Structure 1
């Protein structure tokens, strides 16, 4: 159905975690808010593993009790498997911080996103799915609304702020030419779900498992979920994974045979008929906001799935940007400067995760060895994996990690060092 009004204080594009967070917080502050999602909800989506630091945004949204009562699998840690199939000890987040925020969930994104969508409606936003944004409306350089298509009708809706959380569709970033694909992270992924695969719940919950293939050309995620399902995906350079190798089903099977850490876990399990592909998904934007518009979530940028940061970045950026939107509406000043004031702090935090991603893809990131040589940085590294990217100790980590990694790359040989355990401590990668 079309929107009930023709004018709102804020229009939010995209009904994923970022859009639902933005709509809920702006509406809760007392401003008329319209949230539109182009697809019919509920709908499947990749990105089921959450970072523990999402806890604080969930608390602000008022959905923690729903999550605690949900059927979602409780995530208590991570585990890494090297290219030889050797496993690290499980790394439990609560050993770093015993607060309940150190445990989170592996979610069914269809159900999770629907919960957040319903929460935005409960907070006062008008929420519509099956509604496409055809264009944005402008008066000179000021964005003043959107043109929508809903139930076969095309309508122009005005607003004081357009909040783009359209995900990798990146509607405004593409329109205004501010999206840039990362040339050093041109990755692709193929993923599917299995029923009846291995499920280790030692430690009181499930873990995200990251496993390299034997040739280290690719890595797999392994994410146990509710209802005896496991999400399994392979990630590699786009050209290596998808070009000239046949159908995605065949490529997935070939890479699985080279990944003992995952292949053994899915033996005898039932692969579901839901294989999907994504490519060249790492990108950034050169401008977070303009007059009358602001970006958040994947519409602002996406780094890589390796550390499960996507949903946390989406929700945290939307939370921070929402504060700027509320401020702009209160002062009647929807300028680029005011709407984008959140960006510097957020970018300063996410750049450390970006650096850790590049370290992972160097092929020589031996965290056990690094921790042995620099035990003073173990807490900072753990903070990054949990999502505490704004912690004051994190920048100091890279003062030593960068030169150490350069030395490891220079010393790299065909043999793999046996550093999976250091004084009984778990290896993180």
Structure 2
């Protein structure tokens, strides 16, 4: 590491890796640091098809095709009584190559981004911990970090890109983080070998399965080498209300998920149970003079629609472009570095609304689509991640009243 850079990016997940690659490719002196040793484990393995475009921008599509990841061509939903929906095949809505995506091992995927940033000219250093972001008044001016040997370094920078994930370093420092009180979730997951997958094109599908009581749901994400990621998400108070260890809670909820039990009849557990909080939160400001937030440091919605990696990549590219333009013009103000954020939030609001629909127990999306089949394409767009266009939220013109009616009817 040197002691002076144009840009320091903190955190080498999808947001930080993509931002560092964009800035370094433009010729600016860039440092990307990661607290853990790369490669490192991370959850968040299912990608939305719209990752195609930021990955294309980063020059990584051929590497993705050659990496051996499971191809994801669809998503499917299973009701509380085990009834399976028809798969949402993305190609039926759009037959271009961009309508297929991947299920990834994040250690490998994030390492690919780390290496790509290095290829494009960034100094990429792992096992390096952020200790402090330096400010001169309201302007970020650099960072203090501790390297793998325990030595501290003060590094000046014209821009700091915070990609510290749920640690949200700058947002916590400046008290910018707002938790959604209705989406305080906990995720508990483990891995299985030989879980039953569907034949044919639906083999790589992400499957979302409800439990009988609808207080939790499971994800089913097929990975390479016959391994499947299977996780349970529920309200924090429900999942942690004195019910025992995370493994015991997981097993209790699994027993209440008939749609999943059949898929695990011949499966073998691999490794230990893991758990993490999956709180939905947003930040009240996303950029300031000399700093900008990307990825989970910016905000996190919910794991149900697998939007996290796509959003992080998209934010990384957009923030990287804003930083490059700002450095070129000598303007690293909050307005310039955050110039992309309002458009980004306008698109992502539709996924936030769809998450709220999913957690409304009284409402059935399947029934809604039977009543309004004309919205199936719009819904598929949202599941693909295609949200940045006029009309992306048109289905809510009919969905919002139907949702209100279903909730009111349930209270009668």
TM range (shorter): over 0.9
- Whether the aligned pair in 2 keeps the contact of 1:8 and 1:159 (CA below 8 Å) is yes
Residue of structure 1 equivalent to 2:397:
399
Residue of structure 2 equivalent to 1:384:
382
The aligned runs of 1:238-317 (5 Å cut-off) are: 238-317=236-315
Matching of residue 43 in structure 1 with residue 40 in structure 2: yes
Equivalent position SS for 1:227:
helix
Equivalent position SS for 2:201:
coil
- Whether the aligned pair in 1 keeps the contact of 2:190 and 2:272 (CA below 8 Å) is yes
Distance in 2, Cα, partners of 1:376 & 1:86: 23
TM superposition outliers: structure 1 runs of 4+ over 6 Å: none
Residue of structure 2 equivalent to 1:6:
3
Residue of structure 2 equivalent to 1:24:
21
Describe the superposition over 1:160-179 as per-residue Cα deviations: whole angstroms up to 9, x where unpaired. Answer: 00000111111111111101
Residue of structure 2 equivalent to 1:331:
329
Distance in 1, Cα, partners of 2:153 & 2:182: 41
Distance in 2, Cα, partners of 1:139 & 1:331: 21
Distance in 1, Cα, partners of 2:73 & 2:115: 27
Distance in 2, Cα, partners of 1:253 & 1:65: 40
- Whether the aligned pair in 2 keeps the contact of 1:190 and 1:278 (CA below 8 Å) is yes
Residue of structure 2 equivalent to 1:363:
361
- Whether the aligned pair in 2 keeps the contact of 1:192 and 1:233 (CA below 8 Å) is yes
- Whether the aligned pair in 2 keeps the contact of 1:208 and 1:221 (CA below 8 Å) is yes
Shift of 1:28: 0.4
Residue of structure 2 equivalent to 1:232:
230
Mean Cα deviation higher: 13-22 or 365-374: 365-374
**Distance change (3 Å), C-alpha of 1:258 and 1:413:** farther
Mean Cα deviation higher: 369-378 or 5-14: 369-378
1:63 to 53, 60, 64: 60
Distance in 2, Cα, partners of 1:204 & 1:376: 23
Distance in 2, Cα, partners of 1:79 & 1:348: 26
Q: Which runs of 5+ in 2 are unaligned?
A: none
- Whether the aligned pair in 1 keeps the contact of 2:197 and 2:203 (CA below 8 Å) is no
Mean Cα deviation higher: 198-207 or 33-42: 198-207
The aligned runs of 1:101-140 (5 Å cut-off) are: 101-140=98-137
Distance in 1, Cα, partners of 2:217 & 2:337: 38
Residue of structure 2 equivalent to 1:197:
195
Shift of 1:204: 6.5
The aligned runs of 1:139-178 (5 Å cut-off) are: 139-150=136-147, 151-178=149-176
CA RMSD of the aligned region, Å? 1.3
Residue of structure 2 equivalent to 1:418:
none
Distance in 2, Cα, partners of 1:223 & 1:327: 38
Aligned length: 411
Shift of 1:310: 0.5
- Whether the aligned pair in 1 keeps the contact of 2:17 and 2:113 (CA below 8 Å) is yes
Describe the superposition over 1:197-225 as per-residue Cα deviations: whole angstroms up to 9, x where unpaired. Answer: 11224216410000000011100000011
Describe the superposition over 1:99-148 as per-residue Cα deviations: whole angstroms up to 9, x where unpaired. Answer: 01000000011111111110110111110110001001111211100001
- Whether the aligned pair in 2 keeps the contact of 1:383 and 1:391 (CA below 8 Å) is no
Mean Cα deviation higher: 324-333 or 93-102: 324-333
Q: Which runs of 5+ in 1 are unaligned?
A: 415-429
Shift of 1:280: 4.5
Shift of 1:49: 0.3
Mean Cα deviation higher: 275-284 or 75-84: 275-284
TM-score by length of 2: 0.97
Equivalent position SS for 2:81:
coil
2:74 to 68, 74, 77: 77
Shift of 1:410: 2.3
**Distance change (3 Å), C-alpha of 1:204 and 1:372:** closer
- Whether the aligned pair in 2 keeps the contact of 1:181 and 1:280 (CA below 8 Å) is no
